[in-house]
Structure 1
Amino acid sequence: MKFEDKILNLIYSKSEGGYWDFKRSWHVDDGCLLHDIICLANNIENRDCYIIIGIDENNDFEYYSLNDDPNRKNNNELSTFLRDKKFFGGIRPSVSLKTITVEGHEIDVLTIRNDIHTPYFLTEDYTSKKKDIQKPKVVLKQNIYTRINDTNTPINRTADVDKIEYLWRKRFGIHLSVEEKVKLYLSDIENWVYDDERAILYYRMEPMFTIEIKRVDYEEKKCQSKRSEFYDQLMIKKGDGFTWEEFEIKYANIVIYTHWVDYLDGGRYMIAVPQHKIISNKSVRRDEMYGIYYYDNSNLQGLVNKI
């Protein structure tokens, strides 16, 4: 579903929820803006979240003009605003701003990306320095805020312990299935260790996850060397053969995924074999078919290739 359609569906629902929040106008108090962002970054629905600005939820969710809003921010101002806040570990929520037009009205949408760096919280109190705010809100250090259904954790409180536990489990991938953990761990390239003696890689933080290059005997290797694709020619010396071998991703010695690797440049370079598909280009005269090779970095083969 397109981004605009997602936001329209939320607007037309005329209700708030666990991953979206409506605001009539931009926050006067930057502390309130920061609090809202942290709450949604720590959402327990494990998905991208949205702050939709320009919708008056107290007036039957009517549109509200942002044209003369003195507190309106752009992407650069939003990034600068978050950059100097003292977040635990120095990692800040990933937030982007996009303006869409709905029925002639501009709507600002802040997207807070879903990731594994939860819980987000400050190591120093934050209070807006705007002089025209009589009683600025204080975003408290060490307080962990979240959002349950359509309600944020109050700014002077911290989330319930079961919600905090979930957010820490999310950071370490404890809440994931084995298949989901594999994708998470493959993204953490620096923590994979290669054992040359056994021709395996293992994940330093959970060594039961391994990637093993399967040993093949000479006759099998001769058969595999006959496999050749165009990219074999790109990094190879004349007279060298082509070598394909299988690899297996295992957890506790149980195979989760298996595919092929290819050695290039006389064995000095190894890739996970790219995926392949046929696409058509329909022209006036005829249908032209092309084979393309590609990596999708959201799936296992693309992630393995990075390692």
Structure 2
Amino acid sequence: MGSETLKSEIESVISFKREGEYWDFKEQYHSNKADLLHDIICMANNRADRDGYIIFGVSDNYEIKGIKNDENRKNQQNIIDFLKGKKFSGGIRPTIELVTMLIEEKQIDVLIIKNSDDTPYFIIEDFNDHKRRVRANYIYTRIGDTNTDIDKSADINHIEYLWRKRFLLNRPPLEQIKQKLRFKDEWKQEEDTYYNIYNPEFTVVLESDHEIGHPEFYSYLMTNQSTMYGTLEIKCFGTKLYNRQFVVLDSGRYITVIPKWGYIGNGFSLNETYSYKYYVKDSLDYILHKFLQSDDHEAMWARNRLYSGIVIFNNEEEMERFEEYLKSNISLLNELVDAEENFYDWIETETKREKIVNQKRIKIGKALKNLLEEYRNKLDV
């Protein structure tokens, strides 16, 4: 989530003038560390199934007081170190981020407790601070605007929900399969079908066309431009939940789901409209791309050649920001594409026009990869 989007959301929940199932207000930072730990665990185990916010600098009557002079104020590393020192079950701790923002000309801090499927979070050794105690093996959660009392464990139905969340049992089948595809050792292949050994009703089926197809521009980055296509289907109990075209590259050495098309331009000039191929990490397509990947040396070489001509974004937000950045700086892309010295004259296509198009798309892919790296470096400065 971008900083402006987060700020807008925080302003919105403050305007509600109430606390909620994933947000809580504190006029000041906790003076008692057990209370801080308890609040973080409750929010990490919230039932809203989303990031939780502990908002510092807002009073009980929802007035923005600011946090600038709070003697108990902490930074992000303070809180991370604090959590690291606690014995969480399985060694899995809540992931947090601390963001400072200016609202009504006053600084407030927003402690973001990241949503995760690692619930329930709980400690396995009591933690005491003065007369407050976070109890070992107690499971705390947040229901509506109320945390589980520090001296009680949550009701059994709420505990059951958190365990179901960990095992993805509260998710639709496609979401469960998406998570399981990250662990290829859980899958067994029989001819053109993969099935999950723990949930054999989950299958990935590859149906090949068995015919030579028309090469895409990235086909020409391979040792051999030979290209075939097929359809990948994800099924549960035989019901098709998802399908995507896959491509077999380099005379069968490499297989992957086809990257998506992206477009950059001002919408008025075809000469300044660029098309490119991309993956977004954590998308189902990218997870399938990784799932189909082979450790064979030739396959890895082909994968690296593919990567040289396509763009891989960290998330959808980065893609949107990068495309907006390029629309405002289209001359940078023009210059980089024009400066590409390799004209790929060795490409063999059916028509001269097709050759020119593929040459340009390869150059666009390489230029975008360089610009994305520069863009990321600017953000890190």
Distance across 2 between alignment mates of 1:265 and 1:136: 68
Q: Which residue of 2 aligns with 1:265?
A: 250
Distance across 1 between alignment mates of 2:162 and 2:197: 22
Change (3 A) 1:12 1:200: same
Q: Give secondary structure in 2 for the equivalent of 1:55.
A: coil
Q: Does 1:101 align with 2:96?
A: no
Spell out the pairing of 1:132-171 with structure 2 (5 A cutoff). 135-171=130-166
Q: Give secondary structure in 2 for the equivalent of 1:62.
A: coil
Q: Which residue of 2 aligns with 1:19?
A: 22
Q: Does 1:233 align with 2:236?
A: no
Distance across 2 between alignment mates of 1:118 and 1:73: 25
Q: Which residue of 2 aligns with 1:132?
A: none
Q: Give secondary structure in 1 for the equivalent of 2:226.
A: coil
Distance across 1 between alignment mates of 2:218 and 2:62: 56
Q: Which residue of 2 aligns with 1:206?
A: 199
Q: Which residue of 2 aligns with 1:255?
A: 240
Q: Does 1:295 align with 2:288?
A: no
Q: Does 1:306 align with 2:293?
A: no
Matched positions, count: 288
Q: Which residue of 1 aligns with 2:71?
A: 70
Q: Does 1:274 align with 2:269?
A: no
Q: Which residue of 2 aligns with 1:175?
A: 170
Q: Which residue of 2 aligns with 1:43?
A: 46
After alignment, is 75-84 or 160-169 more displaced? 75-84
Q: Which residue of 1 aligns with 2:310?
A: none
Aligned partners of 2:226 and 2:250 also within 8 Å: no
Runs of 5+ in structure 1 lacking a partner?
129-134
Spell out the pairing of 1:50-61 with structure 2 (5 A cutoff). 50-57=53-60, 60-61=61-62
Q: Which residue of 1 aligns with 2:230?
A: 245
What percentage of residue pairs aligned between the two structures are identical?
Answer: 39
C-alpha deviation, 1:125, in angstroms: 0.9
After alignment, is 93-102 or 270-279 more displaced? 270-279
Corresponding letter in the other structure for 2:135: L
Change (3 A) 1:299 1:178: same
Moved over 6 A (4+): none
Distance across 2 between alignment mates of 1:205 and 1:105: 53
C-alpha deviation, 1:286, in angstroms: 7.4
Spell out the pairing of 1:4-15 with structure 2 (5 A cutoff). 4-15=7-18
Change (3 A) 1:265 1:286: closer
Runs of 5+ in structure 2 lacking a partner?
292-381
Task: Determine which structure has greater relative contact order: mean sequence separation of CA pairs < 8 Å that are 6+ residues apart, divided by chain length.
Answer: 1
Corresponding letter in the other structure for 2:202: F
Aligned partners of 2:232 and 2:243 also within 8 Å: yes
Give the superposed CA RMSD.
2.0
Q: Which residue of 1 aligns with 2:187?
A: 193
Aligned partners of 1:192 and 1:201 also within 8 Å: no
Q: Give secondary structure in 1 for the equivalent of 2:280.
A: coil
Structure 1 or 2: larger helix share? 2
Aligned partners of 2:226 and 2:249 also within 8 Å: no
TM-score by length of 2: 0.71
After alignment, is 135-144 or 200-209 more displaced? 200-209
Q: Which residue of 2 aligns with 1:117?
A: 118
C-alpha deviation, 1:215, in angstroms: 4.3
Q: Give secondary structure in 1 for the equivalent of 2:205.
A: strand
After alignment, is 102-111 or 264-273 more displaced? 264-273
Spell out the pairing of 1:78-97 with structure 2 (5 A cutoff). 78-97=79-98
